[in-house]
Structure 1
Amino acid sequence: MATDHALADEMVDAVRSWVDRDVIPNVAEFEQADEFPQAMFNQMCDFGLFGSTIPEEYGGLGLDITTYTRIIEELSRGFMSLAGLLNTHKIGATMIGRFGTDEQRQRFLPRMCDGSFRAAFSLSEPDAGSDTGALRCRAERDGDEWVVNGTKMWVTNGMRSSLVMLLARTPDDRITCFLVEKEPGESFEGITVSRKIDKLGYRGLETVEMSYVDHRVPHANVLGGDEGIGHGREYALSALELGRINVAARAVGVAQAAFDAAMAYSQQRETFGRPI
């Protein structure tokens, strides 16, 4: 359902004003130091952005994708990494909303609305980017649990997340998605953040390598339940549509910032004694 135009404009205007007032003047210190922007994150939580596309019945704002896209543009105009704080979380919420069991939706979505329980998305591996056919991370059934072993790469928000949407290969050689709950931090049970990956840009939020050694996941946390076994790839690709919209909106926001900066400079620059 489309979001009311007046409500959408009010929400976008509030984010735009905040970006102008509090983000743009302070972004350099976080970008250069690769420091997590805690105060900015807190304000995003207060805006309700982590529940922006989650239906109202679960406590979210229930915004349509157009409004969400406009918000991502404004965030990226100020500091693109803020859009990255949201992206993997929204991918996870979308996967649960579309393909989770009723019990999984009730158990996870309400906790994902206020930013205190954030999701990471974990598909890529050292030898497998988006190529699910090359995945080596494995999950084997052991009673009411699955035992996970493997290494995942380029996990955005991996250290600070409380939930990881993990794609792993099961003994039938199919890909299944597991809802891996954990405590935020560098290690939890069989999970270790084995390396932080430095980046030329897109700084201020962590991108990490994560290792799983005999980590146990309840069978109840197979996305989609029994019917979800072997369908992880299609679930992930479906939700990645929203992730690609997020990335495209970032590009528009960054382009707008570049245009605004160029226009401002052109009004100040003089050459050969004349304004350009």
Structure 2
Amino acid sequence: MLPSPKHPLTLALLVLLPSLSMADEVKVAVAANFQQPLEEIAKSFKQDTGNTLLISAGSTGKLFTQIQNGAPFEVMISADSKTPKKLVKSELALADTQFTYAKGQLVLWSADSTKVDAAGAVLKSASYSHLAVGNPKTAPYGAAAFEALDKLGLTSTVSAKLVQGENIMQVQQFVESGNAELGFVALSQVYKDGKITKGSAWIVPASLYSPLTQDAVLLKKGEDNPAATALLNYLKGNKAKSIMHSYGYLD
């Protein structure tokens, strides 16, 4: 026998169901450098809105190709501003939703806490055999690394030592596993709350590479999902910004 409309259980369900019906999922394509911060933001976002993020991380270029090929992503959180613009131009994203959520920083990093000096002079030394970098064609941080090497006049010197990763997370894995003594990664991967969390690192001067301006955009497949729009708005808010700052991102 079903409870009557006046039954306490029925009243409780009637109160609860509207809030449950508002909760939704958002399929998010995120650049590898921002995966960890986004996972932390996702917890706060769910607590505040009830909405869940389904996160797929990878190199910006690879995610762009997946979206072109029909991947069901609703929001793109890129490691650059060019890729969201390309998505808009291809009519795969909505132009008026694109915005810069953060600016990233490039670091030279080693899992060895004594390896990298405060001026990055280790790059010019003979104390390492392999230097990991992201694929410059698909990973903006990889492109920034090559730009920095060029400005330092080290491109030809280190060319025989280079180990290329598909994305910035793979670069970190190369260094952590010992397959490369050094690697160029995003500061967010090795930094939290004002300090390097593991190994040693040199924050590459911003003058050595083009700004890592990172944009987000609503994809066409998310235009009818209020939770997708809510996520983009959330990224502009103080809670999300505070998390980003804790990982070394700049406004």
Pairwise same-fold verdict (TM > 0.5): no
TM range (shorter): under 0.3
| TM-score relative to the length of structure 1 | 0.26
| TM-score relative to the length of structure 2 | 0.28
Higher normalized contact order (CA 8 Å, seq sep 6+, divided by chain length): 2
